[in-house]
Structure 1
Amino acid sequence: MRILMVHGINQENKDPEELKQTWIKALKLGFEKAKLDFPEGLTFDFPYYGDLLLKLQSNYEAANKGAEYNLKSTSPDTDTVLSLQEKILEEMLKDTDFTNLELEPEQPAIKEKAIYNHMPFLALARALDGKRYLGNLSLVIFTSVVAAYLSVNLIRHKVDQKVHSHIFDDTDVVIAHSLGSVVAYNVLNAGKKGPVNLKLFVTLGSPLGLMRVKAQLETPVKFPPCLSGKWINLYDPKDMVSLYPLDAENFNVNPEIDNFKMENNSNNHHDISEYLSDPLVASYINKLYVDRKKS
C-alpha cells in the first residue's frame, strides 16, 4: 500500500526526512490507540515544498511590490493579496470570543466583536499571534502564505508540480494537512496523470471550507475524479484554520465528504501529530489494508 503525505505551511528550513518520520510516528500512534497492528510493507511518499514555497513567495513579493495578485474574485474588496488576506482572517476570526483575551500592556483592550469596526484585521491578528490559545500558529503568516499560493499562478503551479511528482499509479491513500489539503485537492483535480484507483483521501485541519479560500478554486468544487473510495475530513472547531466541516453547506461535492469532529489538544488546536494520531485515521487505513490482503 502506498501513502502520499502532503504537509502544510511553516515547514521551511526543516529536514524533510525528519518531518516525514514525525508524520509516520503520529500515524503509528493512531494505530496503537485503535489497538491495531501497524501494517507491514507500507510505502510513504513525502513531497517537501516548504523551502520552495518560501522562496517563491519572497521572490514574488520582492519583484512585485504593490502589485495585484491574480485573483478570481471580481469583488473590488479582494483585488490585492492584502485584502484577500484580511477577508480570510475575517472568516477565521468572526466567531472568536475576545472577552478573555490577555493582551500586552501596549495593546488596546478588546472586549467585544465590535472591535472589527475599530481595528484592522491584520492588526487584530498580530495582537492575537503568540497568545496561549493560538500557540505557534501565526494568523498573519498563515493567511499571507495561503493568499499567495491561491492567487499567484507561478507559486501554485510550482508547488502543485512538486506534489504531483510524488503521485504514482499505485498511490492508494492521500493524507493532507492544513494548506496541504488545498494543494492536494488542486493536484487531484488537475486532470493530469494521477492514481489509477485512489482509495482514500484524508484531510486534516483543512481551510477548504473557508469561503474566501473556496472562491479561488476552480468552480464548481468537485470530488476528485481519481478517487474511487472515501474522502474523510477531521476538524476541530477550535482550530481557527478548519472552523467548518466540509459538508454540503461549506463544500458541496458529490459524493459527500465524511466529516468527523475531534479534539486537537495541541496549544493551537492545529498540530499535525494530534490530527494524524487520531485512531479514526488508522481504522480507515487498516480497513483498506485488510481488504487488500483478502483480495
Structure 2
Amino acid sequence: MKIIFIHGMNQQNYNAKSLRQHWLNIFKQGLKCSKYPNFNFNTLHIDLPFYGDLLTQHHQQNTLDLNTFLPKTWLNFPLHLHQAQEKSIEHTDFIPFLPHYSVSQNLPISEKLNLFTALAKDLALKEFSILLNHFPKLHEQLIHQFLIETYLYLSNECFLQEVHARILNCMNTSEKYIIVAHSLGTVIAYNLLYQHPEFNIQNFITLGSPLAFRVIQDRIQHPIIRPKGIRGNWLNFYSPDDFLTAFPLTNAPFCFSPPIINQMISTFTNKPHEIMGYLQHPAVIQSIIQPLIKC
C-alpha cells in the first residue's frame, strides 16, 4: 500500500526534494512519539508530488500577509515579539514537538506575552473567517488578492490539470493508497478523486481543510458527493485554533453515508495551520498506520 502526501499552498521556498524531506521529518517525529514507535519506517512507500513551482511558471507570486485581515485596532497589539519568533523558526529545520507550549508560571514573561499575543491574533482571524463565510463574493476577492495559488487552482483549468498531472504520475489502478492531504491539498485531492473513481483509496485523510467554506464549495466538482474511490474512511482533522480551517465537515453538503469522521485536534498556537502541527499528531499517525498494519 502506498502513501501519497498532497501539500498545500505557500511552498515556493521548497523544491520537490526539500519539501518531501520536511514532511518525512515531521512524520518520523510523530511516529516515534506515537503508539507505533517500533514501526519500520523504511518499509513505507511514500510519494509527495510537488506543484509549488507551477505558481512561478504561471508568473504569479503567492503572498499572504495575515495582518491585512486584522481589524485596524488589532494592529497596535504587540505582535513584534511573536513575529520575531516565527521568523527564527522559518529559517531552521527545527520541528517542535506537540504540545510545544505550556501556560505555566515557569515561563518567562516574554514567552507568556508571545503565547497570548498568538492566541489573540488567531481568535481575531478565526472570527473574521466565520464572517467571511457569510459573504462568499468578498471571500473570493480576498482569496484572489492574497491567496493566488488557491485562486489559480479554483479558477484556472490549465493550472488545475497541471497540478493533477503531478499527482496522477504517482498513481495507478493496480495499487491501494492512503492519501494524506493538507490545506489546499485537500481541495485538490477531493477534485482529483471525484474525477478518478477508478483508484482504490483505503483511507482519505484531510488535514486543516478549507472545504467547509462556501467559496470553496462553489468551485469544486458538483454535485458534492463522497468520491467513489474511497473504499475505507474519510477522516478529517481540524483544529479550533486554525483560523483558516477551524470547522468540521459535518453540515450539508458533507452529510455523506458513510459519514466523514471528523476529529478535533490541537496544533501549534503560533502556527496553527502549518503541516508540522497536523502530521505529527498521534491521532493522524494512527489513521495512517492502522490500515498498513491490517493489510
TM-score strictly above 0.5: yes
Query: What is the CA–CA distance in structure 2 between the aligned matches of 1:290 and 1:180, rounded to whole Å?
Result: 26
Residue in structure 1 matched with residue 3 of structure 2 by the alignment: 3
Q: TM-score, normalised by structure 1?
A: 0.69
1:18-167 equivalent positions in 2, closer than 5 A: 18-36=18-36, 37-39=38-40, 40-56=42-58, 58=60, 101-103=74-76, 132=118, 133=121, 143-167=147-171
Q: Does 1:199 align with 2:185?
A: no
Query: What is the CA–CA distance in structure 2 between the aligned matches of 1:269 and 1:237, rounded to whole Å?
Result: 9
Change (3 A) 1:249 1:103: farther
Q: Does 1:233 align with 2:206?
A: no
Question: What is the CA distance between 1:266 and its match in structure 2?
Answer: 4.9
Unaligned segments of structure 1, at least 5 residues = 60-88, 106-130
Residue 247 of structure 1 aligns to which amino acid in structure 2?
T
Query: What is the CA–CA distance in structure 2 between the aligned matches of 1:26 and 1:266, rounded to whole Å?
Result: 17
Q: Does 1:273 align with 2:246?
A: no
Residue 189 of structure 1 aligns to which amino acid in structure 2?
Y
- 3-state DSSP of counterpart to 1:4: strand
Query: What is the CA–CA distance in structure 1 between the aligned matches of 2:181 and 2:145, rounded to whole Å?
Result: 19
Question: What is the CA distance between 1:146 and its match in structure 2?
Answer: 1.4
Query: What is the CA–CA distance in structure 1 between the aligned matches of 2:167 and 2:32, rounded to whole Å?
Result: 29
Residues 268-295 of structure 1 show CA distances to partners (whole Å, capped at 9, x for unaligned) of: 3101011000111221222212211xxx
RMSD: 3.1
Question: What is the CA distance between 1:140 and its match in structure 2?
Answer: 7.5
Q: Is the 8 A contact 2:224 2:254 kept in 1?
A: yes
Residues 164-209 of structure 1 show CA distances to partners (whole Å, capped at 9, x for unaligned) of: 22223314200001101111111111137x53x2110111111111
Of 262-271 and 33-42, deviating more is 33-42
- State the identity as a percent: 31
Q: Is the 8 A contact 2:144 2:151 kept in 1?
A: no
The count of residues paired between Structure 1 and Structure 2 equals 230
Q: Does 1:263 align with 2:236?
A: no
Residue 38 of structure 1 aligns to which amino acid in structure 2?
F
Question: What is the CA distance between 1:139 and its match in structure 2?
Answer: 7.4
Of 17-26 and 248-257, deviating more is 248-257
Unaligned segments of structure 2, at least 5 residues = 79-116, 126-141
Q: TM-score, normalised by structure 2?
A: 0.69
Query: What is the CA–CA distance in structure 1 between the aligned matches of 2:146 and 2:31, rounded to whole Å?
Result: 30
Of 179-188 and 259-268, deviating more is 259-268
Moved over 6 A (4+): 137-141
Q: Is the 8 A contact 1:172 1:200 kept in 2?
A: yes
Of 201-210 and 6-15, deviating more is 6-15
